[in-house]
Amino acid sequence: MTNNPKGLSEYFANDPPSFFDELTNPKPREPQSEPEVNKPKTNMLASTFTGRYQPPEYVETADDAEEPIKVNDEVRNLWPSPAEQGKTGTGAPTHLVMPGLHIANDLGYGRSGQPAKHSPHSLQLWFTRLALLAKLGEYELLQAEAEPFGQLNALDVFYEFYPEMYSGKQGSIASFSFRLLLSEMPIYLGKPHLALDNLSKLHVISSEIKQHYEKSRNGNASEFWQRRSERVLHSIINCALMMKKYSMIDDIMGGMLLTRSSLSKEEQRSLYSAWGRIYLQIGDIFGAEQKFAVARRLREINTAPDLRDLVDKGLIAVANNDFPEAYLIFQKALHLDSGNTMILNNMGVCLLYAGKLKDAINLYERAINLNPQKSLNESLLVNLSTLYELESNNSKVKKLNLLRLINRFKPDLNISVEICLKLQATN
């Protein structure tokens, strides 16, 4: 549904964006040999790269996260140890060694390859490596290297395990983002039910910590953990979408995310808009219109429609098969954000289904020429490659030109160029 797989910034930030910058991120499948154009569907897994023309995108990526809440390390690292969770086993120690690297603070020069005690630096290096593997789509390697960590419940990932090194310090050495990454990992492997179990446990503990700070009247810490708890709920919604548990999504959106009294009107608008776009993807146009109407009412009085309103309205037009109208609406939205690739991609979809193949190609090519760094994204490349195949039998030359642009401006695509450009490997 979004053209960008999970970015590293989402993990490294203490407080990720408050509304969904993506909903699902399944492992891509191999492209089919023959070009096939499908009419846009209300498909939850619209970000899956099947080698076909991609349907409209429903969620634009948030560029900026919320302002971080400043808390001390005691609040940030609070996490119940296995003993506090009532577990009798201590768990196998996870003294691991980074492949090909050594950590100077722990091992010292010339001692690479030997087991090391955990430290904030060593676990951050491991987390960074695993997050990069997820970003690169190396899911099998990610699973193999993450397996020894489990869900970070072993005693040796807590400061209490090293009294000689961290005298009196308590809490988790591993960051919350590391725990979130490991909990979400089964999503990448096509096992959302396992991810749902992991994330549910993560949410329960996060909520308990939040309640602990509420009782102690520490509002700043409570809000910090409230945001972490909500970020876990966003991932749970991703799992529910993949598992088609729509009633669960309604319960989370209406009964949990939208019940916080401190939500601003803009935050409520974001959530109702995201809720409406979920309804669109499951085929409930009437339900989507109701959620979008609530989002509109939350807008400041006597203000012109903003980007969110226009995109919501354009998606409703797409759902009603009114592609010329949807194109005009997206065009207005583009005037508010000229470089928005989600809007450009949707405009190309509208042109194609309005029978304007050449115009769709020109739109995509112009977008790439104006801003190659931003426009060379996976969804747009898949669509443009498909349009080249529909245009003529000599599409390979144009695809190779795209490949040169990718090599020059964006060599770190999250999906392989063979899939994005639908190039057949030759022996």
**405 with 368: CB under 8 angstroms?**
yes
- Decide if 273 is inside a domain: yes
Residue whose pair of structure tokens reads 């810490």 in the numeric block = 221
Is position 62 within any domain?
no
The residue with tokens 């209490």 is 160
153 and 234 fall within a common domain: yes
CATH code at position 342: 1.25.40.10
CA distance 275 to 272: 5
In DSSP terms, 158 is beta-bridged to 172
- Residue 422 in contact with residue 378, Cβ under 8 Å? no
pLDDT for 379 equals: 85
* Claim to verify: residue 10 and residue 83 sit in the same structural domain: yes
Query: How far are the Cα atoms of 292, 338, 350, 354 from residue 39, in angstroms, in the given order?
Result: 23, 26, 10, 11
Residue 320 sits in the same domain as residue 293: no
pTM for this entry: 0.74
Contact indicator for 18, 270 with CB cutoff of 8 Å: yes
Same domain, 17 and 33: no
pLDDT score at 24: 31
pLDDT tens over the chain, length 427 residues: 333 444 444 444 443 332 333 333 333 333 333 333 333 333 323 333 333 445 555 545 444 445 678 888 899 999 987 666 655 444 555 555 444 444 434 444 444 455 567 889 889 999 999 998 888 888 899 999 999 899 998 888 899 888 888 888 889 999 999 999 999 999 989 899 999 999 999 999 999 999 999 999 988 999 999 999 999 999 999 899 889 899 999 999 998 999 888 888 988 999 999 999 999 988 899 999 999 999 999 987 767 888 999 999 999 999 999 999 999 999 999 999 888 888 999 999 999 999 999 999 999 999 998 888 888 888 888 889 999 999 888 888 888 888 888 888 877 777 777 777 877 654 4
**In this structure, are 105 and 232 located in the same domain?**
yes
What pLDDT score does 418 carry? Answer: 78
Domain count, the chain: 3
Domain boundary among 203, 233, 261: 261
Task: Name the residue type at position 424.
Answer: Q
Q: Is residue 125 part of a domain?
A: yes
Residues 195 and 71 in one domain: yes
The C-alpha atoms of residue 317 and residue 40 are separated, in whole angstroms, by 12
Structure tokens at 11: 């993990």
What range defines the domain where residue 36 resides? 27-57+307-427
> Which residue in 390, 322, 315 sits closest to 345, CA to CA?
315
Looking from the CA of 158 toward its CB, the CA atoms found within 13 Å total 19
In a domain, 105, yes or no: yes
What is the phi/psi pair of residue 196, to 5°? -65, -40
> According to the model, what pLDDT value does residue 93 have?
53
| Residue 245 is assigned to a structural domain of this protein | yes
Contact 342, 326 (CB under 8 A): no
For residue 207, the 8-state DSSP code is H
Which residues neighbour 14 within 8 Å (Cβ) at sequence distance 6 or greater?
68, 69, 76, 176, 177, 224
- Has residue 324 been placed in a domain? yes
Q: Measure CA of the first residue to CA of the last residue in the chain; give whole Å.
A: 34
What's the pLDDT score for residue 201? 95
- Residue 5 has a pLDDT of 40
Residue 394's pLDDT is: 82
- Say if CB 281 and CB 303 are below 8 A apart: no
Q: In this structure, are 239 and 337 located in the same domain? A: no
Residue 118 inside a domain? The answer is yes
User: Residue 417: inside a domain, yes or no?
Assistant: yes
Residues 124 and 146 grouped into a single domain? yes
Same domain, 39 and 89: no
**DSSP H helical segments within 216-338, as ranges?**
219-243, 246-255, 265-281, 285-297, 307-319, 323-336
Q: Are residues 375 and 421 in the same domain?
A: yes
Within 5-81, residue ranges assigned H as helices are 8-12, 73-76
Closest CA to 182 of 86, 94, 261: 94
Of 277, 298, 319, which closes a domain? 298
Q: 59 with 274: CB under 8 angstroms?
A: yes
Whether residue 249 is found in the same domain as residue 315: no
**172: three-class secondary structure by DSSP:** strand
Say if residue 77 is in the same domain as residue 135: yes
